[in-house]
Amino acid sequence: MKQRNGVIKPNYNGQIVVDEENQFIVANDVTMECNDQHQLVPMTQKVLDTTGHEPEHLTGDNGYIPQLEEATKKFHGTVFLVDDRLRRKKNIDLDEIKKKYSEIKWNNLTTLLSEEGNKKYKKRMYTVEPVFGDMKFNKGYLHFLLRGLEKVKGEFNIMCISHNLRKIWSFLTKKGTNIMGTIVKKIKSRVCHTSQSFECLLKI
């Protein structure tokens, strides 16, 4: 992977999609690309392949915005909400932006600027981000042990399986839990968040 300073190192970019209600990882992948610009479509497809359903809503940080239009056109059953850095600028001229933006990007921006949309986007902070924190700081997954993309994908799969098994176990140990119903609900959860925040974990 090419670093910001131009140096090429054998680093990997981990991707996960996490359901909002249970913090269950419903899709994961590893690439050697230095950013997330080409990951929104394939990660949404992985959710569909895994669960049999498109997620009803899917949020992502600004790194995923280059594929917003393609993903919106391909997955008609999913409402995407991807961060747009313009929303944080002061005194922006919305009329001028509307002239430059496509309808999809404009709808995405105005949703982010709305109170309801902003609340939906902020849910990422306690949905997907804690999963990364748990993997790195609680489980100690600070770097990969293997080399080569396919081997690293397998290792990352094990990390994600470990996370999901612990989630399932936590439900198994709760009294009165409908175990099978809960697990099925996790797998088929349709409100998801996608992210790549594994800089520390994936830099070897």
- The closest alpha carbon to 139, from 156, 164, 159, 169, belongs to 159
- The closest alpha carbon to 110, from 133, 102, 27, belongs to 102
Do the beta carbons of residue 195 and residue 62 sit within 8 Å? Answer: no
- The closest alpha carbon to 179, from 194, 168, 163, belongs to 168
Average pLDDT over residues 73-101: 93
pLDDT per position as a tens digit, 140-159: 988 899 999 999 999 999 99
C-alpha to C-alpha distance for 187 and 190, rounded to whole angstroms: 9
Q: Is the pLDDT of residue 190 over 80?
A: no
Q: Is the pTM of this model over 0.95?
A: no
Higher pLDDT, 67 or 203: 67
